[in-house]
A = this chain, B = another copy of it.
């Protein structure tokens, strides 16, 4: 255990006040180790995320003042007494994490040692909390307390703590080359995009297009009987639609392009958003990607009305095999249902509210639709998200470049105005530097 006496008594933090639209930068007590599994992270950068707006707008059912933010990167400055090199049988970081290590945190806490975490479903750890909620102070502050830190944190100073398909020297070089503001994308939006893409492309209903064998022969590893059928070339073109081109939607699109290119799957990829500036951003990102990352397929960016007519035309009236719904509201789901084919898949990673779903059981039955809902298990997705970050430094590179997903880095004094402008769509993704 490292003594926390180097921590100041107070810190600056971005705080939400009920009932809504009330963000203040305040001096609050700096966090302390409360449990032997805790770490204290000195925050280098903390980001503003679209899902912060749920609470900001008063839609979160929350009435308690708290420090905002669930995306942060920083340096370990204190560790609880369960962190020591002799620890065995616990997640690796309990024995290897050191004061001074650079870490990124997923947006939720996860113990890393329960059944749910072991399966990789870290976003639903029974001991998990969301940073930046009444249950756990957030990362838009100078310091953050991370519970279950040996399970939760991702150690960017020690790449041997996670396995990667990348050669070790490339991994190591990337860790020194890639800026903190890009690494911060690992906290939420990049793994969420990777999760959406992997969830869709591995769905059994997508398998016939990928394998070239029909249901159920597409699972032929299991010696299943079926009908031998000759597919045409166009049968094997996978049509995917991404609805919503905010930062997560762009990450989902880039990740889907990579997944399609890696698997050599011919495709039609359609990215949809009602907002023209978001569509332009998406095209700028796409143009930045190198040829290998673009795979063998066509890519179009469309408005909602254009998507309604063109997806039908592109698929001879059949519809898209997979829809990535990256908005999280009723109209996006409604559009997803309209565009999806019979026996298609809708993967929804948006944070949904409580209104009734826009489809009935009969609608879902009549079209044989599959729905995959929910929160990304960010901690489990860090390794593939990191790999994508390394491959796509063309996109996820320097802040301020036209393709960058990060609009600006500002000091905490601009937090109140940044929330307002972000809520109004006047700025893109904003990062706070709490030491600026």
Contact = CB atoms under 8 A, between A and B. Distances in A.
A147 interface: no
Contacts of A393: none
A387 interface: yes
Given A342-B124, A343-B116, A361-B328, A369 B380 contact: no
B361 A333 contact: yes
Nearest to A125: B342
Contacts of A366: 374
Contacts of A384: 216, 224-226
Contact of A372 (B116, B370, B377): B370
A374 B367 CA distance: 7
Interface in A219-238: 219, 222-232, 234-235
Contacts of A330: 361
Interface size for chain A: under 10, 10 to 19, 20 to 34, or 35 or more residues?
35 or more
A179 B115 CA distance: 47
Given A263-B222, A361-B357, A368 B121 contact: yes
Interface stretch (A77-85, A163-171, A303-311, A424-432): A163-171
A88 interface: no
Contact of A216 (B226, B360, B380): B380
Interface in A277-297: none
A166 B120 CA distance: 37
Contacts of A115: 232, 234-235, 316, 318
A203 B372 CA distance: 10
Contacts of A333: 361
B198 A216 contact: yes
A380 B163 contact: no
A408 interface: no
13 contacts: A115-B232, A115-B235, A120-B215, A120-B217, A124-B343, A126-B317, A163-B225, A202-B219, A204-B204, A214-B380, A354-B361, A355-B361, A364-B371
Interface of A: 115-116, 118-121, 123-124, 126, 162-166, 194, 198-199, 202-205, 207-209, 214-219, 222-232, 234-235, 262-263, 316-318, 328, 330, 333, 341-343, 348, 350-357, 359-362, 364-375, 377, 379-384, 386-387
